[in-house]
Chains A and B, each alone.
Chain A
Amino acid sequence: MTHNPTFLIRGARPLGGDPADILIRDGRVAAVGAPAAGDPAAEVVEAHGLIALPGLVDLHTHLREPGREDAETVASGARAAAMGGYTAVHAMANTDPVADTAGVVEQVWRLGRDAGHCDVQPVGAVTQNLDGAHLAELGAMADSIARVRVFSDDGMCVSDALLMRRALEYVKAFDGVVAQHAQEPRLTEGAQMNEGVVSDRLGLAGWPAVAEEAIIARDCLLAEHVGSRLHICHVSTKGSVQILRWAKSRGCDVTAEVTPHHLLLTDDLAESYDPIYKVNPPLRTAEDVAALREALADGTIDCVATDHAPHPIEAKETEWSNAAMGMIGLETALSVVQHTMVDTGLLDWAGVAERMSATPARIGRLSGHGRPLEVGEPANVTLYDAAATREIDPAAMASKSGNSPYRGTTLPGRVVATFLRGTPTVLDGKIQ
């Protein structure tokens, strides 16, 4: 990454608006507007027709390191993030060892800083070793150099109502937020896919929508009662959307995310028994997909988060019930959002910037990300060719794992360049 620190991005359309030149100098946006009074020292990036967005921020990424470096490392995940247009990702805590101490979150934070392609913000576990019973040292993680603000037992639900209440209260001391993986455990024992017509036909144990909705309803009421911030991970059902809408109307300080795959894919894909479509929460019905899109458009769901979940080949080339849950998503997220939200007219590019950059940065309290493309702001910029189409080939991706449900399909759009504080991490669609 030995590039001229000054760049002139020529002719890009900030947030899809009128073409403008963007001058980047010393890691900040130095000028935005009409064809710039050229800085002769600047390296020119021709960007005519490209959309310029603030660098994307992911609230929900599994980087697998430490523990499962065969699936992903912080370095490979950071490259995948950059290739997807991200400048910051939140690394989930369900690693091995679990990120439940200051020591582990600082280790992940350092790995991210060394990787350099993307800011890696560790998420801290809510409970020790994700046991759901004993609070982890949340304050120590908050006070560490990793400055943890998002706490989550993701993969596991904090199902004990009293423990959830305590966690919600406790993190107020350092402006933290608890990100809940909403899954009532007893209702989902052995669950394999969405419970409904398809699961009944396929003989796969069902994961009922109510198991998500019941926890969301409970936690919204708890958060309201104790006056805490609550974030709901990967909302997947129409009923959850209705509960969130109701909770927000009561003034509950709740935010929510939706994954790209829940905006596009449905449970009937399980008919093939190909576990590439096995994910938690599971793919739902077309009616749920429609409700999620509408909720993301109207702001009931605040942001898009990838739940990028890399797994090695053998974890998916097996019987459905033996297979691991999860799919990679960093390098396809923006394309799926374009396909489901922009090309359908539900969201404009300013809306995409808000839901994939500004809002997740605000929820995660990342002050240097999700900023507007304005003079003086950190130069975190993504250039995106919305007119391109590409066939998805996981083998060509930067992620170490290939478990993409979009393999072989065609999606719109392509990330052309990503700048992290003025340094290109991706240029001409290639990792730098």
Chain B
Amino acid sequence: MRHLLSAGDLSRDEATLVLDTARELAQVSSRSVKKLPTLRGRTVVNLFYEDSTRTRISFEAAAKRMSADVINFSAKGSSVSKGESLKDTALTLQAMGADGVVIRHSASGAARRLAGWVDGAVLNAGDGTHEHPTQALLDAYTMRERMGRLEGLRVAIVGDIRHSRVARSNVLLLHTLGAEVTLVAPPTLLPVSVGTWPCAVSYDLDEVLPKSDVVMMLRVQAERMRAAFFPTAREYSRRYGLDRDRFARLHDDAIVMHPGPMIRGMEISAEVADSPRSTITEQVANGVSVRMAVLYLLLGGSESAIGNGN
């Protein structure tokens, strides 16, 4: 694995290795000294063209727990906001000798472009409406921890599939790992060619819920309403929101996930978000472990992840 640009780049063995490594590394997070020497001397650049404090902090914590040097390069207050091109920024990072670049960008494919311009490993932390592979990995990790397996797991992904990088990465990764995905959305929020994707599709959340082990609620942005993807927030909530009544249709072991940030009341009601069967806070913690695993596998070379301690 040289870069992580798409969840579809991972074979089943590679994806499983990431999850297993993350599990090992999670133990570190529960120790009093949370630091490993594994990536000492390596430089990781967080190149964030979009505001996403939660994702940046997650990557930063992951890199620091592995003792990497972290440089945060955010669009605000840097040459980027003065119109420097991605290519020129890439050449700067190259000159700095970055071993890994974590990139978040509003343009689909920005991570792929960057990978063509730098020697270091490129880690896609979300590119436009394309993919967000570490989110899918942490979601898969969370499901596996909670449900004990991924093979045959029935996962419903609900919301703005068309514009969601989380949905794209999850469909690819969960398919690779043997889960059965059903996408649920109004037809306007599904891609036109969704029939070719390796998953099922439904317009009817009530019909899908009783047959799901995992329900993943995606954020729906208000601007979609203005562009006529659905008539009103109220109608969206009524047909596709996960409220208490719908929650009751799930079987007792089913869990509810949300990649955050969520809009309580729109796609998920507060009592569902705060229920013990919601994994929303676990997902945040698991995010650090999974990102540690990915950084280790991309940058760590031959040393073992935990090391022998020194």
Task: Enumerate chain A interface residues (CB-CB to B < 8 A).
Answer: 192, 195-197, 199-206, 208, 272-274, 314, 317-322
- Whether a CB of chain A sits under 8 angstroms from the CB of B194 is yes
- Asked if A206 contacts B192 (CB within 8 A), the reply is yes
Q: Is B244 an interface residue (CB 8 A)?
A: no
Verify B85–A314 contact, CB threshold 8 A. yes
Given A203-B129, A203-B131, A318-B85 in contact, is the A273-B113 Cβ separation under 8 Å? yes
Contacts of B85 on A, CB cut-off 8 Å?
314, 317-318
Task: Find out whether the CB atom of A272 lies under 8 angstroms from the CB atom of B112.
Answer: yes
Report how far A195 CA is from B194 CA in the complex, Å.
12
Pick the contact of A197: B113, B129, B193 (CB < 8 A): B193
| Distance (whole angstroms) from the CB of A197 to the closest CB of chain B | 4
B112 contacts A200, C-beta separation under 8 Å: no
A200 contacts B194, C-beta separation under 8 Å: yes
Partner of A319, one of B107, B129, B197: B107
Known interface pairs A203-B165, A321-B108; 19 further A-B residue pairs with C-beta atoms within 8 A, sorted by A's residue number: A192-B108, A196-B192, A200-B193, A202-B109, A203-B108, A203-B127, A203-B129, A203-B168, A206-B192, A208-B192, A272-B112, A273-B109, A273-B113, A317-B85, A318-B86, A318-B87, A319-B105, A320-B113, A321-B107
Contact with A along B118-141 (1 / 0, CB 8 A): 000000000111110000000000
Q: Which residues on A sit within 8 Å (CB–CB) of B87?
A: 317-318
Does A204 lie within 8 Å of B112, measured CB to CB? Answer: no
Q: Which residues of B lie under 8 Å from residue A274 when comparing CB positions?
A: 113
17 interchain pairs, CB-CB under 8 A: A192-B108, A197-B193, A199-B191, A203-B128, A203-B129, A203-B165, A204-B109, A205-B129, A206-B192, A272-B112, A273-B109, A318-B85, A318-B87, A319-B105, A319-B107, A319-B109, A321-B128
B168 touches A319 (CB 8 A): no
A321–B127 alpha-carbon span in the complex (Å): 11
Distance (whole angstroms) from the CB of A184 to the closest CB of chain B: 16
* B100-117 at interface with A (beta carbon < 8 Å): 105, 107-110, 112-113
CB contacts (< 8 Å) of A317 on chain B: these are 85, 87
B196 interfacial by beta-carbon distance below 8 Å: yes
> Is B112's CB under 8 angstroms from A273's CB?
yes
A319 pairs with B131, CB closer than 8 A: no
Contacts of A196 in B (CB 8 A): 192-193
Q: Which of B170-205 contact A (CB under 8 A)?
A: 191-194, 196-197
Looking at the assembled complex, report how far the CB atom of A209 sits from the nearest CB atom of chain B, in whole angstroms: 11
- The answer to whether B128 and A201 touch across the interface, beta carbons within 8 angstroms, is no
Kindly provide the distance from the CB of A288 to the nearest chain B CB, expressed in whole angstroms.
15
Query: Which residue of chain B is the closest to A193 with respect to CB atoms?
Result: B108
- Contact assessment for B191 and A204 in the assembled complex, using a CB-CB cutoff below 8 Å: no
The reply to whether A203 and B193 form a contact with Cβ atoms under 8 Å apart is: no
Give the chain B neighbours of A273 by CB distance below 8 A.
108-109, 112-113
Count class of interface residues, chain B: 20 to 34
B191 adjacent to A200 (CB under 8 Å)? yes
Q: Is the CB of B130 within 8 A of A203?
A: yes
Question: Which B residues, 128 to 167, have Cβ-Cβ distances below 8 Å to chain A?
Answer: 128-131, 165
Contacts of A318 in B (CB 8 A): 85-87, 113
CA distance A322 to B110 in the complex (A): 10
B107 touches A202 (CB 8 A): no
Take A204-B108, A204-B109, A273-B113 as given contacts and tell me if A319 and B193 are in contact as well, using a CB distance cutoff of 8 Å.
no
Q: How far is the CA of A321 from the CA of B131 in the complex (A)?
A: 15
CB contact under 8 A between A320 and B86, given known A201-B168, A203-B131: no
CA distance A318 to B112 in the complex (A): 11
Q: Smallest CB-CB separation from B114: which chain A residue? A: A319
| A300 CB to nearest chain B CB (Å) | 26
Nearest residue (CB) in A for B190 is: A200
Docked-complex contact B192 and A319, CB < 8 angstroms: no
| CB-defined contacts of B127 to chain A, threshold 8 Å | 203
Chain B window 31-65, contacts with chain A (Cβ cutoff 8 Å), 1 for yes, 0 for no: 00000000000000000000000000000000000
Q: Is the CB of B107 within 8 A of A320?
A: yes
Please list the 3 inter-chain residue pairs (A to B) with the smallest Cβ-Cβ separation, ordered nearest first. A273-B109, A203-B130, A200-B191
Q: How many whole Å from A284's CB to the nearest CB in chain B?
A: 14
- Which among B107, B129, B191 is the interface contact of A322 at CB below 8 angstroms? B107
Docked complex Cα distance between A23 and B41 (Å)? 76
A279 to B109, CA, bound (A): 17
A322 to B, closest residue via Cβ: B107
Beta-carbon contact of B110 and A319 below 8 Å: yes
* Residues in A neighbouring B105, C-beta threshold 8 A: 319
B109/A197 in contact, CB under 8 A: no
Query: A192: which B residues are within 8 A, CB to CB?
Result: 108
Chain A positions within 8 Å of B130 at CB level = 202-204
- Give A110 to B98 CA distance when docked, in angstroms: 53
B207 to chain A: closest CB distance in Å? 24
Tell me the complex Cα distance, A199–B105, Å: 18
Contact B108 A320 (CB under 8 A): yes
Residues of A within 8 A of B168 (CB): 201, 203
Q: Which residue of A lies closest to B162 (CB)?
A: A200
Residues of A close to B129: CB separation below 8 A? 203-205
What is the chain B residue whose CB lies nearest that of A205? B129
* Residues of chain B lying within 8 A (CB to CB) of residue A206: 192
Q: For the complex, give the distance between the alpha carbons of A320 and B213 in Å.
A: 38
Rounded to whole Å, the gap between the CB of A113 and the closest CB of chain B is 38
Minimum CB–CB distance from A344 to chain B (whole Å) comes to 29
- Please measure, in the bound complex, the distance between the C-alpha atom of A195 and the C-alpha atom of B193, giving whole angstroms: 9
Q: How far is the CB of B83 from chain A (nearest CB, A)?
A: 11
Report yes or no: B109 in contact with A320, Cβ–Cβ below 8 A.
Answer: yes
Contacts of B113 in A (CB 8 A): 273-274, 318-320
CB distance from A276 to the nearest CB of B (A): 12
Once the chains bind, are B108 and A202 in contact (CB under 8 Å)?
Answer: yes
Bound-state CA distance A32–B86 (Å) is 58
Instruction: Point out which of A192, A203, A273, A314 has the most chain B C-beta atoms below 10 A from its C-beta.
Output: A203
Q: Which of B68-117 contact A (CB under 8 A)?
A: 85-87, 105, 107-110, 112-113
